Chain A
Amino acid sequence: EAEVAQSPRYKITEKSQAVAFWCDPISGHATLYWYRQILGQGPELLVQFQDESVVDDSQLPKDRFSAERLKGVDSTLKIQPAELGDSAMYLCASSLASKVDTQYFGPGTRLTVL
C-alpha cells in the first residue's frame, strides 16, 4: 500500500539555525498538506498545496517558515531561523483531491530546537 514519505524522521537543531523537511506524497495525490503537532495536541494546518500552488497558508508564520512544491509532487518545508517554540512534530499529508477527500499522513519529522 502506498504511503506518504517524510525525511528526516528526527531533527535536532540549535535556535537560529535553518532546518528543512521533505515530503513525498502518495503518487497521483494532487493535494498536499503540512501540519504541525505540538505534544499533547491535535495537528494544526500550516500550509496546503493544490498541485504546485499554495491554496491556504493563513497559519504559516511567514517571517520564518516557507514551503514549496515546485513540480507539484514532493514538497519542502523550511524554517529559518528556528526558535525554541518550533519544537514539534511536523506532519505531511496528501489527498487525491481537495474536495472532502481522505487525507493520508506521513510518519512525521520530530523537531527539537535547543
Chain B
Amino acid sequence: GENVEQHPSTLSVQEGDSAVIKCTYSDSASNYFPWYKQELGKRPQLIIDIRSNVGEKKDQRIAVTLNKTAKHFSLHITETQPEDSAVYFCAASMTGGGNKLTFGTGTQLKVEL
C-alpha cells in the first residue's frame, strides 16, 4: 500500500518568515495530494490540495508543489503569522483506490513573535 513520509516533524520560524514542509509518497498511482491543518483539539481542515496533472498551486500565502517523477510534494507558507501555528498533515490518495487517504506523520509548526 501507499506510504507517506513527512519532514520535518517540528518546525519553528519567526513571524514573517517562510515555512516549508516536505512529503514523499511511494505509490506512483497516487494522484491527489491534500494538506490539512489541525489546531490543538480541533478537526483537520483542508487548506490546499493538488492533483497530479498540476505541478504547482497557490492560494494567497500558501502554495503546494508536486514532483511526480521524484514522488514528492511540498507545502510552502510565506509571511507566516502566529495563527499559522498548528500541526500540518500531508496525504495522498488515488482514483480507483476509493479515495483512501494515507497521511504523513505531521509537522508541528510554531510561528514565534
User: Which residues of A are in contact with B by a Cβ distance under 8 Å?
Assistant: 4, 31, 33, 40-45, 48, 50, 55-56, 91, 95, 98-108
Which of A33, A91, A98: most chain B Cβ within 10 A?
Answer: A98
Number of interface residues of B (CB under 8 A): 27
Known: A42-B91, A105-B43, A107-B43. A98 touches B103 (CB 8 A): no
Q: Which residues in window 84-110 of B have CB below 8 A to A? A: 89, 91, 93-95, 98-106
User: Which residues of B are in contact with A by a Cβ distance under 8 Å?
Assistant: 4, 6, 31-32, 34, 36, 42-46, 49, 51, 89, 91, 93-95, 98-106
Known: A91-B44, A107-B42. A45 touches B32 (CB 8 A): no
Query: 9 closest A-B pairs (Cβ-Cβ)?
Result: A42-B103, A105-B43, A100-B32, A105-B44, A107-B43, A100-B95, A98-B99, A42-B89, A98-B98
Q: Tell me the complex Cα distance, A44–B91, Å.
A: 11
